[in-house]
Amino acid sequence: MSISHGIKRVGVLGAGQMGLGIVYVTAVRAGIPVLLYDRSKEQMTKGIALMDKLLEKDVKKGKIESSAAKEARDRVVLVDHTSDGIREMRDVDMCIEAASENFSLKAKLFANMAKELRPDAILASNTSSISITKIAAATVHEGESTASEAGKASASRVVGLHFFNPVPVMPLVELISGLQTSDETLQRARSFAIACGKEVTVSKDVPGFVSNALLMPFLNEAIMCLEKGVATRDDIDKTLKLGMNHPMGPLTLADFIGLDTCLAIQRTLYEGTGDSKYRPSVLLERMVDAGWLGKKSGKGFYEY
């Protein structure tokens, strides 16, 4: 079947909550076969079990037929965690990286993706704050000039596809173009996101893009209020819920996002702009040092 985005097979790197969510909407909503890889066998097993649970829940709620759920599940193939996962994805039309918010890690992944995948494959990052331009530069082969035709062609297929958590529920994808990203890559990525049932907004490649350039300083200020003793945890969250009609308070939201992720993004904003207003809260740093990462670790500002 001819489709506007031309994507007939997708690879996803990372079987965490975001990666699994992207796999879900790709297989269920877009109806595209998808390969999933993670170095951790435990994470792969946990991720696919979550997908089975989500599919079962959607069938019970009458959102999809059981036959459609089975078809969607059959579209997902797990790549052996002991293999070179990226090499196993050499025939995909798009590969989406959903690893931790760490530039060094992402740069290595993208350099490997550029080396092993087809030269026409779209290389997308689910980063929520790191420069797409910087990630794209990592795809230029060693010894190749970034200004050469080969260098420009490699970097032109990199794009930011920022899905929001939880991916099956949140209706938005933030689309980010690096300086090198081609119009064709951008438009195909947009069409893919729409096929996944998402609304799309576009941001320039600035630290945090639109979403986290606004959200993270807000969460950081809330944590600083707690740090300085301006108000209690419960009163900070209650003020925003009842006074501003937010569905959850900022400290609860930070717990749900993951305090390590919040810190990584806040540091990206601070280092990327050099503006002191983005300095991470000392309390946030200490909680991450303690391993109190929020809901995923069982303890953050609240206990789970």
| Active-site annotation holds for 174 | yes
Residue 141 annotated in active site? no
Catalytic residue, candidates 125, 162, 203, 220: 162
Sign of the four-CA dihedral 72, 73, 74, 79: positive
Determine which one of 126, 156, 212, 281 is catalytic: 212
Alpha-helical runs (H) found in the chain: 17-28, 41-60, 66-74, 85-88, 103-116, 132-137, 149-155, 183-195, 211-228, 233-238, 250-257, 259-273, 282-289
- Is 162 assigned a catalytic role? yes
How many angstroms separate the first and last alpha carbons of the chain? 46
Query: Residue 228: phi, psi to the nearest 5?
Result: -85, -5
Whether residue 111 contacts residue 155, with contact meaning beta carbons closer than 8 Å, is answered with: no
19 vs 12: CA distance, rounded Å: 6
Query: Dihedral angle at the C-alpha atoms of 39, 107, 170, 63, nearest 10 degrees?
Result: -40
Among 126, 128, 156, 203, the active-site one is 128
Ranges of H-type helices in 41-102: 41-60, 66-74, 85-88
Query: Is 154 within 8 Å of 140 (Cβ atoms)?
Result: yes
Given 5, 97, 156, 174, the catalytic residue: 174
Among this protein's residues, is 165 annotated catalytic? no
The DSSP output letter for 37 is: E
Cα 303 to the center of its chain, rounded Å: 25
- Provide the 8-state DSSP code for 138: T
| Catalytic residue set | 128, 162, 174, 212
